[in-house]
């Protein structure tokens, strides 16, 4: 396996810190879990000696890291798939991903992904970062729509990854959730881990990855509340898991209780109204609406926002008509 050799000298002024924490801050494109694995494998040494992950770095330590290059999978093939480009320069690409498109190849999704489309647009991005996720520094779920940023060189990739790791990036989602959310704003802070019985799902847990989501009510409709969701962390399915955790699953969410179970106990008219909502929203009503960050090259602040895709637009218009008394869908 090909390896990349990285050498880092600890600054003289460095305070006591575990080596895995220190290296996670220093190497933006290698996660802390990967660093722990490399330590266990003996691929990280200090002054030529292998150490344990609880080793505390000292001033002037010379740390050597042997990072395996991305596994040699079959290269992702470029495909001529239209993409909605919001911004592009020599450094990065900002796109609006449609719902239903997988972000990168995985089991069962070898092509037709956003990465295939990006490489069809610019094949040079194939050399940036992980060879299955070239250029990517963050992801959104297949059935979530909205904004993603893609790096066009390794320097930008590392800079953007650091922004995400240090929470110096603005990420705002819009979600339609079931029922009347009483609190105008609330912050949900939990650990998130794999579901104990269903490994395809995530769940709030006693241990795992710490996750923080800030929810703000935008408008309350019949059966549904529109929410702004601002992330402090970016965990798998985070908004969907936290919304379900507070008793307000995202409308249409097949995985976390966003479909039929929310219609129990309603009268006939309200049940019909809820059914119509689900007819309009066949996937989770979640949209990555806004993204803002300091451009790694120009150092200027960039902010992007995109309107709802067609299905969420139809849902929003339907709820607005009812709110303004223009429908007779229910009593």
In tens, the pLDDT along 271-329 reads 999 999 999 999 999 999 999 999 999 999 999 999 999 999 999 999 999 988 776 55
Alpha carbons 281 and 279: distance in angstroms, whole number? 6
Name the pLDDT band for 7 (thresholds 50, 70, 90): confident
In this predicted structure, what is the pLDDT of residue 13? 79
Give the DSSP H or E segment for 220. strand 209-220
Q: Which tens digit of pLDDT belongs to each residue from 79-109?
A: 999 999 999 999 999 999 999 999 987 755 6
- The β-bridge partners of 149 are 94
From 127-131, 192-196, 240-244, the region with the lowest mean pLDDT:
127-131
The 3-state DSSP class for residue 120 equals: helix
Q: Is 141 a catalytic residue?
A: yes
Two structure tokens written together for 232: 């402090």
| Residue 77 included in any domain | no
Name the pLDDT band for 21 (thresholds 50, 70, 90): confident
Q: Is the pLDDT of residue 56 over 60?
A: yes
The reply to whether 282 and 191 lie within a common domain is yes
In this predicted structure, what is the pLDDT of residue 180? 96
In this predicted structure, what is the pLDDT of residue 292? 96
Last residue of a domain, one of 107, 131, 166: 166
Last residue of a domain, one of 136, 166, 196: 166
Mean pLDDT of 187-199: 88
The reply to whether 188 and 272 lie within a common domain is yes
- Contact criterion met (CB below 8 Å) for 286 and 258: no
| Residue 297 included in any domain | no
The reply to whether 16 and 143 lie within a common domain is no
In this predicted structure, what is the pLDDT of residue 2? 56
In this predicted structure, what is the pLDDT of residue 328? 55
Q: Which tens digit of pLDDT belongs to each residue from 137-153?
A: 999 999 999 999 999 99
Q: What is the mean pLDDT of the chain?
A: 89
Candidate list 84, 90, 111, 141, residue with the active-site label: 141
Structural domains in the chain (count): 3
Note down the domain range covering 271.
Answer: 172-288+310-323
In this predicted structure, what is the pLDDT of residue 1? 47
In this predicted structure, what is the pLDDT of residue 53? 84
The reply to whether 263 and 246 lie within a common domain is yes
Strand order in the sheet with 49-50: 3-9, 62-68, 44-46, 49-50
From 103-117, 180-194, 208-222, 299-313, the region with the lowest mean pLDDT:
103-117
Beta-carbon count within 10 A of 28 CB: 19
The share of the chain scoring above pLDDT 90, in percent, equals 65
> From its phi and psi, is residue 223 left (phi > 0), alpha (psi between -120 and 50) or beta?
left
| Residue 299 included in any domain | no
The reply to whether 281 and 198 lie within a common domain is yes
In this predicted structure, what is the pLDDT of residue 32? 76
Q: Is the pLDDT of residue 125 over 50?
A: yes
Two structure tokens written together for 160: 């953007």
The reply to whether 148 and 195 lie within a common domain is no
| Residue 330 included in any domain | no
CATH number reported for the structural domain that contains residue 157 in this entry? 3.30.2350.10
The reply to whether 30 and 63 lie within a common domain is yes
| Residue 26 included in any domain | yes
| Residue 79 included in any domain | no
Q: Is the pLDDT of residue 78 over 70?
A: yes
The reply to whether 96 and 17 lie within a common domain is no
């Amino acid at each position: 396996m090909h390896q990349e050799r990285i050498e880092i000298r600890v600054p003289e002024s460095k305070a006591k810190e575990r080596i895995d924490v220190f290296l996670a801050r220093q190497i933006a494109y290698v996660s802390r879990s990967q660093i722990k694995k490399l330590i266990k494998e003996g691929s990280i040494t200090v002054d030529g000696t292998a150490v344990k992950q609880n080793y505390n770095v000292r001033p002037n330590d010379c740390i050597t890291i042997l990072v395996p290059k991305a596994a040699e999978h079959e290269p992702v093939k470029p495909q001529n798939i239209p993409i909605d480009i919001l911004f592009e320069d020599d450094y990065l690409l900002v796109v609006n991903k449609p719902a239903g498109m997988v972000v990168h190849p995985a089991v069962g999704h070898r092509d037709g992904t956003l990465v295939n489309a990006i490489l069809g647009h610019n094949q040079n991005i194939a050399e940036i970062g992980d060879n299955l996720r070239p250029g990517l520094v963050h992801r959104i779920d297949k059935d979530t729509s909205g904004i993603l940023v893609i790096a066009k060189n390794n320097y930008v990739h590392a800079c953007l990854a650091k922004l995400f790791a240090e929470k110096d990036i603005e990420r705002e989602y819009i979600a339609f959730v079931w029922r009347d959310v009483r609190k105008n704003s609330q912050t949900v802070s939990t650990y998130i881990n794999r579901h104990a019985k269903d490994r395809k799902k995530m769940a709030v847990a006693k241990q795992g990855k710490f996750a923080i989501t800030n929810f703000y009510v935008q408008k309350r409709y019949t059966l549904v509340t529109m929410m702004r969701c601002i992330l402090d962390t970016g965990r798998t399915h985070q908004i969907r898991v936290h919304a379900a955790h507070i008793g307000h699953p995202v409308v249409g969410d097949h995985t976390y209780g966003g479909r039929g179970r929310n219609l129990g106990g309603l009268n006939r008219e309200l049940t019909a109204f809820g059914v119509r909502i689900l007819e309009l929203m066949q996937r989770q009503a979640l949209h990555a609406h806004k993204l803002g960050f300091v451009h790694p090259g120009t150092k200027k602040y960039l902010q992007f926002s995109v309107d709802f895709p067609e299905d969420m637009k139809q849902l929003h218009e339907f709820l607005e008509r009812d709110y303004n008394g223009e429908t007779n869908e229910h009593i």
